[in-house]
Every structure is written in C-alpha cells, then in structure tokens.
Amino acid sequence: MKKALLILFIFTFCNQTSFAQKEITLLSIKNTANTPTINKNIYGHFAEHLGRSIYGGFFVGDTSKIPNTNGVRNDIVDALKKLKIPNLRWPGGCFADTYHWKDGIGPKENRPTIVNQWWGGVTEDNSFGTHDFLNLCELLETEPYLAGNMGSGTVQELADWVQYVNFGGKSPMSDLRIKNGRKEPWKVKMWGVGNEAWGCGGNMTADYYAGEYRKYATFMSDWENTGGLMRIASGANSADYNWTETLMKNIPGNMIGGVALHHYSVIDWAKKGDAVDFTEDLYFKTMQQALKMEELVTKHSAIMDKYDPNKKIALVVDEWGGWYDVEKGSNPGFLYQQNTMRDAVLAGATLDIFNNHADRVRVANLAQCVNVLQAVILTDETKMLLTPTYHVMQMYSVHQDAKLLPISIKSPLYTHNGESLPALSASVSKDKNGLIHISLVNIDAKKEHKIEIDMQELGIKNVTGTILASSKLQDHNSFDNPTKIQPTTFKGFEIKKGKLVITVPPFSVIMLEGK
C-alpha cells in the first residue's frame, strides 16, 4: 500500500512539474545587426479640429490665465516633449477635406468663420491656423504632418500651401508668408494627399482616387527638402485590400512616399460601449479588434511587396486606437472619452505589432492627442492629466530609431466565452548605446503569465524594469485623482543560470532594459 502511494505521489509530482514547465513561455530573441530600424515616426500623434482637441485643448488663446506660449498651453507642450513625439498630424481627419488653409492665415480678426460639418456643427473661427500649428511643432521639436484638402479643395490650393510653407525664394506665396510674419520657410516634408477618400474625403472609388492623387501629386513640387516631399496617399479602411492593390498598381513609385491605413478597435459602430463602465466581454471584443492590426499590416504589406519589393514606400497607419461611446453629458460630436487600463494594453499590443513590422510600417499616428478618442492628455479648463496611454507611449519611446531584434514567441491563450486570443505580445530593440529594451504586454484579464528569456544569447547581465498595472481593467486617471495609474519599478523577475524568468501580471505593460 505504501509503495502504491509512493508511486502515485511521484506520478502526481512529475505531472505537476511538467504542467508548470509548460506554463513558462519561451521568448527567443535573435541579437543580429542585419535588421530594420524602428522608425521613430511610428510613435506619431494626431490633432484634428474636432471637439476640444485644438480649442480648449492645445489652444487657449494668448489672453488666457492658463500659462501659454502664443496661446498654446505650456503644460501640454512640456508633457508632449517628455513623450518625445516625433510627428504631429493636422488639421484632420475628415476636417482636412473641408479646410481651406488661407482662411487660417493673416490677422485673426480678419479670418472668416466656417461650420465644422463633421464634428458637432460648431463654428470654427480659424484662430488656430498654419502659423499656429507649425510654430507649435517647433515648440514641440516635432515634425509636422499636414493633411491636404483634396475633397473640397483644388490642385492649385494645395500647391500654393506647399509653396507657402516651404519655399525660401521669392514667389507670391512666400511673399504672403513673410507679410504674415514668417521669413524662413518651415520646410514641411510629410504631406497627406486627401484623407479617407473612400468616405468623408469624397466617397471616391479606388480607381478614381488613384487618378486624382496622380494629378495633385504632380503639382506638389518642392526644392527645399532633401529628397523632396513625402507624399502620403489616402489609404484603405481596415481590410479593404483592393484599395491598396489599386493604388500600388496605378501610382508610380516615384510619386508616392507612403500609403495610409486606418483601423479603429470598435466592436460595433452603432453601439461602441462605454469607455469606463465595460465588462470583460466588451474588453475581449475590443482586444479582438485591436489585434486584427497584425493581420491588416501583414496583408497590406504583402500587396505592397508585389509592386515595391525594396520597400521604399511606407505603410502609414495614421489613424489607430480605441473608439467608444462619448462620456455621458458631453457633445456626441466631440468624441471625448476616458482612458483606462484597457487602452494601455491596447496601445502596447499595437505598438508591438508596428515595431515588429518596422520594415514596412514607418509612420503611425495615435488618434488622437488631446481630449479626443484614445487621447494621451485630457484637460478640464485649468486642469490637465496624463492618461494610461500616455504612460505606455512614454515607456515605449526607448524603441524610437533603435534596431529591431527579431523575436519568436508561442503565446499562451487568453480564453473567454469559448474564444481565444494570444495573451502575450512583445517587441525588442537595441539602441545606439547598445541597450536592449524588451516590451511585454499581457492582455489576459485574469491570469499572470511567465516568460523565459536566454540572457546569454543577448549578451546582457543586468536588467531593470518598469510596469504599468492596476487592480481593475476599468481603472483610470481622473481630475480628482490624476496619478492613480502611473509607471512603477518592476521587480517581478529573477535570473537563474543565465535565464531571465518574468512574471507578467494580468492586463499589464512592462518595459525591461538590459545591458
């Protein structure tokens, strides 16, 4: 009897040990120099004339009691500089194809007003225009990305805008710029040729847009920027692969620098769900939509590879993020929503996808920067807070312009109501100083997961970490408690015989640094 019990104990122990071993996920990292650079512009942002993004967000006017520089809030500038934002897209979005840039230059009292037909039907007084935006970019030390009006504008209007902001010699447009107080050109390199041409930008077909693009791009000449302009075509809505195919087939490679892609993590456009008061079921469905980015980037890239095997043309994901119902009591056209740990996890997993496709994805823009959709900053008159998404973007900023290190990971599954998603995502880079950064995301709402990494293969001996985590998925920063969620030191790892074993808590984002 004792012998039988001993055998049963050994059998049970061995099975438990085997099960525990299976629970550890191996993350293999190849430390090689022959890899693409993670373009810093993947970490770009977006500021549309929408809701309180510009007015009441970035721009409060130079008579405001809120500390400002030429009307732009100093606290926002300081926060975004710490975030190291590499580019900022403006003025839209849908607003771009109703925006006539000459309405926003010259003395503010002489500028005409328009109605923002897309976002709330509010009056736009054009007090924040081209000079204001480009001067803001100089304050931020970031690259401007201007979205041109193809929908209601003309070829001449867009060509004049390029000349106005970029031409250093004598011309009608450069003379007008100087008259309005700016002698030196801004030399803007990144230009969008229309926005969402398949929808709010004109409801065009792919074939029609490709022809219009060629016409507009032809007259967008520039001799000021080394290498010329980066012209970015209005790209596909999520999985519209025919759109990308048509553009790549019909637009010569020397006329195009990037093809856009827009994808929002929306579970149902008619009923998107609350930004804070959501169930695990809604969380799981949101993450299903977010992780579709992997498939979208892979398939759109494969189409581009057929026509551009040398990958000269960038895939530009210039609108992405979570989109929920607006906060109760707010204007439905203003798209103001809170930002929780769900958004932090969504951001980290998406950035991992972009990093791992750095050979083709070279620009991306989170939608949006302040007070709109998945914002990194929220304001309420004099108050300002940083959202969980802000903290993730700051943690991940170490990947900017670093060398991508290829990884291999077979993720455990996060299962809910009979459906499953990969629980873990990761991306790894090596910066110019030789520091290796490993970003890890666990989307699992309930379980922690263990990851093992061979440190000897990476050539690192010391590891430090930072984590963004909280007790509830719905946790968020509020104006009453603006620091409820913020990064803290991470110590949930141990080193054994050259192996780094990391315990990743549920719905958390981690950044490790090795040297």
Please tell me which residue in 319, 419, 494, 513 is annotated as part of the active site.
Answer: 319
CA triple 149-154-159, angle to 5 deg: 80
Helix (H) or strand (E) holding 192: strand 190-193
Q: Does 143 qualify as catalytic in the annotation?
A: no
Please tell me which residue in 48, 143, 196, 212 is annotated as part of the active site.
Answer: 196
Backbone angles phi and psi of 463, in degrees to 5: -135, 135
User: Both tokens of residue 174?
Assistant: 């450069």
Instruction: Output DSSP code: residue 412.
Output: P
Helix (H) or strand (E) holding 420: strand 419-422
- Burial status of residue 486 (CB atoms within 10 A of its CB: 0-12, 13-18, 19 or more): middle
Q: Does 157 qualify as catalytic in the annotation?
A: no
Contact 406, 33 (CB under 8 A): no
Separation in Å, CA 101 to CA 54, 79, 132, 133: 16, 28, 12, 11
Instruction: Report the candidate in 473, 407, 479, 467 with the shortest Cα–Cα distance to residue 444.
Output: 473
**What is the rounded CA–CA span in Å between residue 360 and residue 339?**
29
Contact 370, 378 (CB under 8 A): yes
Contact 256, 210 (CB under 8 A): no
Secondary structure of 226-267 in the HEC alphabet? CCCCEEEEEEEECCCHHHHHHHHHHCCHHHCCEEEEEEEECC
Active site amino acids: 196, 319
